[in-house]
């Protein structure tokens, strides 16, 4: 057995009790939101067939998939030629499974495998970890959770409106008050490409303007030119970055610019209908203004989102006045299951970035006290007599549903109080000879520093409040 100092793989994390409790608080809010809108949980295995994952994330993505070595003698079927042909070739010979890279491909795989049992429209959410062999850096991990919700098997734009509602609902429940839900449509982007004389080039345009926040207008211009977009087209494109006014005004301006293009019209019609649904739902996101005076839901024609499979509305969410990238995003795709031979299943989905939400809530001090607390009461142990006296008390507390502990040894009082402190236990019960005689136990409120002498029944009713 090794006696080296143990460590964990880089880019991975242990989550101690306090962090798990806060993460579970976030997961709980997100889960309840998904369920309130009729989304039900799905869980898929951590390991997928390598063939299911390969080719879905581009060449770069394929390199970042963690592959699992075949068990047993994985070399049994290899020859020396296989090894000479390098690691990419050998991988296919010695590895058949891999860790999931996202939740979208396993979801598509599940839908295709179970297409005959599933009732469509199928609304599922999935909250599970994914693994990527990315270079670890601040805020980027090799193991992290994704929280996805998708509905497949319907074209209804009600789903898009409900995604806006879920984002607004979950973030509001988490206590956030200043965030922007950006919305755009791939049809609008295609219409823009056509309107500026670069029909069919919306892919290149998307990749470039997706970086507007990071590399600025000049950077985007440079990239667009490199990608072969003409100077004239870039010149026509740039004024759109500054499109302003209310959402309705923006839509009207876009109608003038793109209305004549088929894709642009499709995009604008969809957006109009999403707006109509949101009005019917009396959407707070539609009506609310952020402290800056801007609408919470904002049409942003520079929103592109890199993923190539989006075909309709796209979303992205930013918390304002916090230095943090988007905490949620998604969009409609028309052919996700096509990769597994089942074409024509339209869907729309989005996800929350839990690690980023965690950091935002911590920065803004929005974690509620209830998410920080553990055991409700600790009974201090002085000696054998107090221990024996404490046992039925302990049981009564737990029977009442109160989480409680008896310190398991007659350690020094300071040590026991330190334990309560470290564990953030709000109440300590002290049972000395006087308390045993009177039947009134000392209940110490650790936060207020106050003590009261109370019967067990009174302690229970106080702690159950």
To the question of whether residue 103 is assigned a binding role by annotation, the answer is: yes
CA–CA distances in Å: residue 16 to residues 11, 13, 90, 198, 253: 16, 9, 39, 53, 52
Q: What is the H or E stretch that residue 144 is in?
A: strand 143-152
395 binds a second copy (CB under 8 A): yes
- Reduce the DSSP state of residue 343 to 3 states and report it: coil
- Distant-in-sequence, close-in-space partners of 420: CB < 8 Å, separation ≥ 6: 378, 428, 446
* CA pseudo-torsion sign 391, 397, 400, 403: negative
To the question of whether residue 305 is assigned a binding role by annotation, the answer is: yes
Toward a second copy, which CB reaches closer, 230 or 335?
335
Toward a second copy, which CB reaches closer, 156 or 230?
156
User: Both tokens of residue 454?
Assistant: 């109370």
Contact 381, 432 (CB under 8 A): no
In the shown chain, the binding pattern of residues 222 to 261 toward a second copy, with x for contact by CB under 8 A and - for none, equals: ----------------------------------------
Toward a second copy, which CB reaches closer, 324 or 394?
394
Binding positions for a second copy, 119-148, rule CB under 8 A = 119, 121, 123-124, 129, 131, 133, 142-143
Least distance from a second copy to the Cβ atom of residue 197, Å:
32
90 binds a second copy (CB under 8 A): yes
Residue 92 CA neighbour count, 13 Å, CB half:
9
Segment near a second copy (CB under 8 A); pick from 194-202, 232-240, 255-263, 386-394 = 386-394
Segment near a second copy (CB under 8 A); pick from 90-98, 205-213, 296-304, 325-333 = 90-98
**β-bridge pairing 377-379 and 328-333:** unpaired
**What is the total count of residues that contact a second copy (CB under 8 A)?**
111
* CA pseudo-torsion sign 54, 57, 61, 66: negative
In the shown chain, the binding pattern of residues 355 to 374 toward a second copy, with x for contact by CB under 8 A and - for none, equals: -------------------x
Binding positions for a second copy, 41-60, rule CB under 8 A = 41-49, 51-52, 54-56
- Reduce the DSSP state of residue 128 to 3 states and report it: strand
DSSP codes, 65-103: SPEEEPSS-TTTT--HHHHHT-HHHHHHHHEEEEE-S-S
Q: Please tell me the distance from the alpha carbon of residue 419 to that of residue 442, in angstroms, as a whole number.
A: 18
Number of residues written out for the chain: 465
Q: Please tell me the distance from the alpha carbon of residue 6 to that of residue 140, in angstroms, as a whole number.
A: 23
Answer for which of 28, 58, 75, 294 binds a second copy (CB under 8 A) is 75
To the question of whether residue 451 is assigned a binding role by annotation, the answer is: no
Q: Please tell me the distance from the alpha carbon of residue 140 to that of residue 147, in angstroms, as a whole number.
A: 16
282 binds a second copy (CB under 8 A): yes
To the question of whether residue 102 is assigned a binding role by annotation, the answer is: yes
To the question of whether residue 150 is assigned a binding role by annotation, the answer is: yes
Measured CA angle at 346 (ends 249, 40), to 5 deg: 100
Toward a second copy, which CB reaches closer, 1 or 437?
1
User: Both tokens of residue 409?
Assistant: 């040894």
To the question of whether residue 132 is assigned a binding role by annotation, the answer is: yes
Binding positions for a second copy, 9-28, rule CB under 8 A = 9, 12-17, 20-21, 24
Toward a second copy, which CB reaches closer, 15 or 241?
15
114 binds a second copy (CB under 8 A): yes
Answer for which of 26, 29, 99, 314 binds a second copy (CB under 8 A) is 99
Answer for which of 28, 58, 63, 252 binds a second copy (CB under 8 A) is 63
Answer for which of 252, 260, 385, 388 binds a second copy (CB under 8 A) is 388
Answer for which of 26, 147, 152, 159 binds a second copy (CB under 8 A) is 159
Least distance from a second copy to the Cβ atom of residue 182, Å:
23
Contact 290, 180 (CB under 8 A): yes
To the question of whether residue 310 is assigned a binding role by annotation, the answer is: yes
Which residue in 354, 295, 249, 325 sits closest to 23, CA to CA? 354
End-to-end CA distance of the chain: 51
Contact 352, 316 (CB under 8 A): no
Toward a second copy, which CB reaches closer, 109 or 201?
109
DSSP codes, 102-125: -SHHHHHHHHHHTTTTPPSSEEEE
Binding positions for a second copy, 336-355, rule CB under 8 A = 339-341
List, in sequence order, every residue forming a beta bridge with 445; answer none if it has no partner: 427, 450
Answer for which of 215, 281, 436, 446 binds a second copy (CB under 8 A) is 281
Segment near a second copy (CB under 8 A); pick from 93-101, 177-185, 222-230, 443-451 = 93-101
Toward a second copy, which CB reaches closer, 198 or 387?
387
Residue 213 Cα to chain centre, angstroms: 21
Binding positions for a second copy, 178-207, rule CB under 8 A = none
To the question of whether residue 391 is assigned a binding role by annotation, the answer is: no
Segment near a second copy (CB under 8 A); pick from 105-113, 256-264, 322-330, 437-445 = 105-113
Least distance from a second copy to the Cβ atom of residue 164, Å:
12
Contact 221, 294 (CB under 8 A): no
Report the binding-site residues for L-histidine: 102-104, 132, 146, 150, 305, 309-310
């Amino acid at each position: 057995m090794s006696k080296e100092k143990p460590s964990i793989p880089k880019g991975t994390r242990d989550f101690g009790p306090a962090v798990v409790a806060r993460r579970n608080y976030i997961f709980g809010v997100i889960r309840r939101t998904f369920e309130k809108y009729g989304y039900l949980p799905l869980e898929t295995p951590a390991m997928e067939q390598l063939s299911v994952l390969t080719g879905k994330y581009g060449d770069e993505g394929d390199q970042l998939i963690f592959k699992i070595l075949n068990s047993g003698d994985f070399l049994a079927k290899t020859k020396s030629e296989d090894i000479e042909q390098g690691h990419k070739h050998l991988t296919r010979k010695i590895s058949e499974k891999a860790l999931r890279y996202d939740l979208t491909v396993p979801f598509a795989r599940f839908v295709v495998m179970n297409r005959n049992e599933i009732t469509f429209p199928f609304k599922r959410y999935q909250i599970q970890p994914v693994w990527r062999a990315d270079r670890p850096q601040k805020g980027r991990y090799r193991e992290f959770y994704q929280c996805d919700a998708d509905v497949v098997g319907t074209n209804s734009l009600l789903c898009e409106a409900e995604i806006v509602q879920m984002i607004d609902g979950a973030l509001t429940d988490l206590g956030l008050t200043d965030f922007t839900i950006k919305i755009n449509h791939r049809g609008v982007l295609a219409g823009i490409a056509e309107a500026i004389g670069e029909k069919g080039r919306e892919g290149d345009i998307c990749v470039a303007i997706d970086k507007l926040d990071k590399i600025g207008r000049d950077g985007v211009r440079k990239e667009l030119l490199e990608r072969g977009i003409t100077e004239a087209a870039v010149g026509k494109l740039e004024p759109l970055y500054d499109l302003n006014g209310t959402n309705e005004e923006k839509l009207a301006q876009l109608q003038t610019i793109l209305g004549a293009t088929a894709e642009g019209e499709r995009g604008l019609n969809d957006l109009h209908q999403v707006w109509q649904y949101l009005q019917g739902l009396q959407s707070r996101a539609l009506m609310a203004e952020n402290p800056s005076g801007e609408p919470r839901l904002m049409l942003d024609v520079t929103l592109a989102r890199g993923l190539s499979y989006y075909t309709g509305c796209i979303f992205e969410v930013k918390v304002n006045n916090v230095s943090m990238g988007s905490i949620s995003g998604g969009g409609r795709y028309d052919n996700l299951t096509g990769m597994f031979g089942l074409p024509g299943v339209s869907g729309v989905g989005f996800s929350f970035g839990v690690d980023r939400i965690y950091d935002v809530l911590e920065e803004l001090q929005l974690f509620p006290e209830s998410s920080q607390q553990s055991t409700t009461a600790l009974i201090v142990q002085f000696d054998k007599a107090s221990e024996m006296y404490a046992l039925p008390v302990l049981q009564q507390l737990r029977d009442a549903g109160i989480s409680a502990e008896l310190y398991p040894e007659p350690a020094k009082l300071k040590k026991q109080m330190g334990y309560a402190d470290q564990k953030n236990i709000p109440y300590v019960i002290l049972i000395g000879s006087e308390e045993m005689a009177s039947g009134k136990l000392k209940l110490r409120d650790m936060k207020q520093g106050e003590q009261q002498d109370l019967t067990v029944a009174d302690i229970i009713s106080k702690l159950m409040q």
